Amino acid sequence: MADRMQDTFDGSLGHFWMDLADVYNLSKASDGYVRLEDDNLFHVGTLRTREFNNEFGHNRERLPMPKAVYGMTNSTRAIFFDIAGVSQSNVMGQRASTQTVRTRGVVVNVPFAVLKDDRFLAVELEIPQVTRWAGLTSIRETVTKPANDGTKQYKAETVDVEPIELEIRRGFKLKLDSTWHADGPDDKRTINAPLVVGTSGRTPRQWHDHLVPLLSVQDLISLAHEGFVPAERATVEFKIEDDGQPRDSAELWNSRLMTLPRQGGVARPKSMTEIPLFYLSHIGGLKGIRNWIRLDQKYPRATGPLTSAYRYGQSGVEVRLTEIALGLEYWTRLHNEHFQRAWAKPLKIGGKKEPLPMAIGRHVGPAFTEFVGGNLYDWAYLFWGTYNNLKHAPSFEYDPYEVDTLGDTGALLLLGELLNRVAGNRIPMKVLTESVRTYQLKERIQKLLAKATSPA
């Protein structure tokens, strides 16, 4: 299976179709070549000289964007999906006309001969080194004390883990599980026990119905480990005619899930063995993930300022503070003006409206106030004043280090508020402020506030 995927990465000749019903009909096939290029996109390049000649003088419009490209290459049968763009070169004379479809994903080893529907019944995604975060560790290790002859033994064994499953929408489920693989040569075996995150429906669904919640889960894991945590492999289940023949699973690859973006400076976590910012148990386990997926899909203007850094890279400190401030403002106004929640209504201090982040600072509980040194108003005043000056005061002079510190504390507050929401309690904000990962930020913000409020 890995060879089929790798062969597709490296490049394969094949026949390609834009319609599933045409697969195996060579008279309707376009001949071409597919390869994963440096932009992390599959480039499916096909010859279309005959098509262009037939269309010349009649139809010069671009061909419609395909839903998917179906391929039969010299190494596998594949569906190329998640279209990123289409380009054409229509020429006359001594050069060939071509078309290139660029896609972010592929499924290899597709059973076209018995396929009833090209939509996905289920997807299972493997993410390494996060089973402890999820509380689903499936490897048990023991080291025996040295015997009289000085020898000792190391033993690792797999442990059955009961998968947990929950309906995230009617007829659509999310599953967490663990699996294991033994890889490497005989004298250097490696045991991998990744977390399995799966989606499944009673009926087949479009690829994006599966990938969107998987992306949300991956974003949550990346937030916990403070870096982009890529998936390693994935499998797909199709609706097929049961002919009684055994067959290998179809394997999926998608650049959104499995590769660091080439641009933007996105980085992996510095360490996967360091204690994460929070564990899955802190947000309510699988129910917390379900709530996070729903929140992420319904309110991306709140979650986006936090998760975009792990998809598109860090922005400048000024832009980051502005994005976080907009997220805080959106969330507060949504609950004040739309949901009419009492907590989100700004209070007046000395006849003036308090700085906007004060409402969320109170709502998350006392942990954040203690984190910033006990004076929430001073922090909110400095944060919101800096944000407004960055927006409206062209001559505003500032220290980038201080702006960075304010932006990081604003992000911590926004993350705590959203995780409190999915957990249904205030435990997440307390966990974030007590994490060893935020200890230095705590010192930085308290020193900054002491400096800002000290007498001149």
Q: Specify the pLDDT at position 331.
A: 98
Number of neighbouring beta carbons within 10 Å of residue 248: 11
The pLDDT tens digits of the residues spanning 221-267 come to: 999 999 999 999 999 999 999 877 778 899 999 999 999 887 777 88
Measured CA distances, 131 to 98, 136, 317, 377 (Å): 46, 5, 33, 40
In sequence order, what are the residues at sequence separation of 6 or more whose Cβ sits closer than 8 angstroms to the Cβ of residue 426? 364, 365, 367, 420
Give yes or no for a contact between 110 and 250, defined as CB atoms under 8 angstroms apart: yes
Give yes or no for a contact between 377 and 358, defined as CB atoms under 8 angstroms apart: yes
The pLDDT tens digits of the residues spanning 400-429 come to: 999 999 999 999 999 999 999 999 999 999
The pLDDT tens digits of the residues spanning 303-320 come to: 999 999 999 888 899 999
The tokens of 144 are what? 């025996």
Whole-model pTM?
Answer: 0.90
Strand partners, 88: 99
Report domain extents, the chain: 2-110, 114-264+278-285, 300-453
Looking up tokens 């009926």, which residue turns up? 203
The pLDDT tens digits of the residues spanning 339-383 come to: 999 999 989 888 888 999 999 999 999 999 999 999 999 999 999
Q: What gap in Å lies between CA 178 and CA 139, rounded to an integer?
A: 10
Give yes or no for a contact between 238 and 250, defined as CB atoms under 8 angstroms apart: yes
Vertex 132 angle, CA 130 and 134, to 5°: 75
